[in-house]
Amino acid sequence: MPAEGTNIQKELNPLANAERQFEEAAARLNLPAGLKEVIKKPRRTTIVSLPVMMDDGTIRIFTGYRVQHSIVRGPAKGGIRYHPDVTREEVEALAAWMTWKCAVVNIPFGGGKGGVVCDPAKLSKAELERLTRRYAADLSDVFGPESDVPAPDVNTNEQVMAWIVDTYSMHERRTEYAVVTGKPLEVGGSAGRREATGRGVLFCAREACAHLKLPLKGARIAVQGFGNVGSVSADLMTRDGGLLVAVADVTGAIHNPAGIDLQGLLRYAADHRGVKGFPGAKTLTTPIVEYDCDILVPAALENVITRENADRVKARIVAEGANGPTTPDADQILEKKGVFVIPDILCNSGGVTVSYFEWVQNRMGFYWPENEVNQRLEHTMVEAFKDVLIKSMEHRVNMRVAAFMVAIERVVKVIMLRGLYA
């Protein structure tokens, strides 16, 4: 492979990127000797081989992972991803980001992540259920409300969480809702959880606009990804006066500089399984991350803004709904251009924040109305945004470095107070 290809592969390696982001922030903090290594490495990685009976009577073995990056501030917290490209490295990177994300919003969780190497599109519902139950059963001594609390991630959903609750509860011989979050409302879920990540993106975008003196009313917004995070962010930002000018999903991309009718697009995308062909807009043939807009919301995949295209980003604000959409190389280019990036560990932390509320409600057995969930979410996110912005101004660093600095300091503080066991 040519040298350039190798460099690109390196740029797109999530574990290398998570470590580089950590190192950049850690280097600016006066950390006690040795502590950096303690908090950098995952605490525990569990790998399981999962035999599953397929519908045709054959047996297939799937590989599953669960990584607990940190349990210093509380139980490990993080989603479970079902995808053919899941690797141990990817799960370790995502688990580390969860540690920093939970610390940025100051909720009492550590970081974890899980994954199963599979293509759910090629599995029947019954096969998916058997795979999920076997994964949950094999990890039933790892999971637990006080130790490790999973949630949905790519290709897992409320139904998968309900199966995990049931499997775990059968092993425990009692119903235990607090073992996972992101559950259906009827099975211990929280009001407002489905919209929480997009709502958090809105709160961060509002704060960023106020800081930059850029009115959200009339701001041109481009959104990549029209799933949970992208569609809710677009909906709430347009309700706040933003003008949605471009949307992309896996089916294609559309744009309308005069504004896209969001409610119409929501209905169209539900009926047509995507945004492609929406009559109220034209097809967009250029990459959406390069679209002329004020606020770009990447809410689909990792590594969409790289050193190859960062220079062509025209947005004033990049609000990272997705995890890891901007590579560290691209970050440097965006910073030089004066683009204000709201980093993923802050911008998309609304989801895990309401997961925390769900866990609290499960443990109390008392459920809050949606407006209470949303108010608490707003308070948490606005406080976190302020903490990061102040750190960024004090140290003259970008928001990502500042967010990592805030998070690392909070984790280290707890280690210093608790001390090292034995």
Q: State the catalytic residue, choosing from 36, 41, 77, 113.
A: 113
User: How near is the Cβ of 324 to ligand NAD at its closest, in Å?
Assistant: 7
**Interface of this chain with ligand NAD, residues 129 to 188, rule: CB under 6 A:** 153-154
227 near ligand NAD, rule: CB under 6 A = yes
Minimum CB distance to ligand NAD smaller for 110 or for 225: 225
120 near ligand NAD, rule: CB under 6 A = no
Show the tokens assigned to 151: 């949630």
Of the residues 98, 132, 351, 405, which one makes contact with ligand NAD according to CB under 6 A: 351
How many chain residues bind ligand NAD (CB under 6 A)?
21
Cα 295–chain centre separation: 19
Reply yes or no on whether 113 is catalytic. Answer: yes
Query: How far apart are the C-alpha atoms of 253 and 73, rounded to whole Å?
Result: 41
Tell which residue, 357, 359, 408, 349, has the closest CA to residue 384: 349
68 near ligand NAD, rule: CB under 6 A = no
User: How near is the Cβ of 372 to ligand NAD at its closest, in Å?
Assistant: 19
- The phi, psi pair for 256, rounded to 5°, reads -155, 105
Cβ-proximal residue to ligand NAD, closest one:
227
Contact 262, 247 (CB under 8 A): no
Identify the three-state secondary structure at position 268. helix
What are the C-alpha distances in Å from 354 to residues 14, 126, 158, 215, 234? 25, 30, 14, 27, 19
Q: Phi-psi region for residue 306, left (φ > 0), alpha (ψ -120 to 50) or beta?
A: beta
Contact 382, 393 (CB under 8 A): no
Task: Fill in the per-residue mask, 186 to 205: x = in contact with ligand NAD (CB under 6 A), - = not in contact.
Answer: -----------x--------
Of the residues 70, 238, 326, 348, which one makes contact with ligand NAD according to CB under 6 A: 348
The residue count of the chain comes to 422
Contact 150, 143 (CB under 8 A): yes
323 near ligand NAD, rule: CB under 6 A = yes
Minimum CB distance to ligand NAD smaller for 31 or for 117: 117
User: How near is the Cβ of 98 to ligand NAD at its closest, in Å?
Assistant: 10
Contact 148, 142 (CB under 8 A): yes
242 near ligand NAD, rule: CB under 6 A = no
225 near ligand NAD, rule: CB under 6 A = yes
**Single-letter amino acid code for the residue at 278:** F
Taking residue 418's Cβ as centre, other Cβ atoms within 10 Å add up to 10
User: How near is the Cβ of 333 to ligand NAD at its closest, in Å?
Assistant: 21
Q: Which among 21-29, 105-113, 260-268, 316-324 is the span making contact with ligand NAD, rule CB under 6 A?
A: 316-324
Minimum CB distance to ligand NAD smaller for 319 or for 412: 319
Query: How far apart are the C-alpha atoms of 42 and 93, rounded to whole Å?
Result: 9
- The residue ranges that bind ligand NAD (CB under 6 A) are 153-154, 197, 224-230, 248-250, 299-301, 321-323, 348, 351
Task: Give catalytic residue positions.
Answer: 113
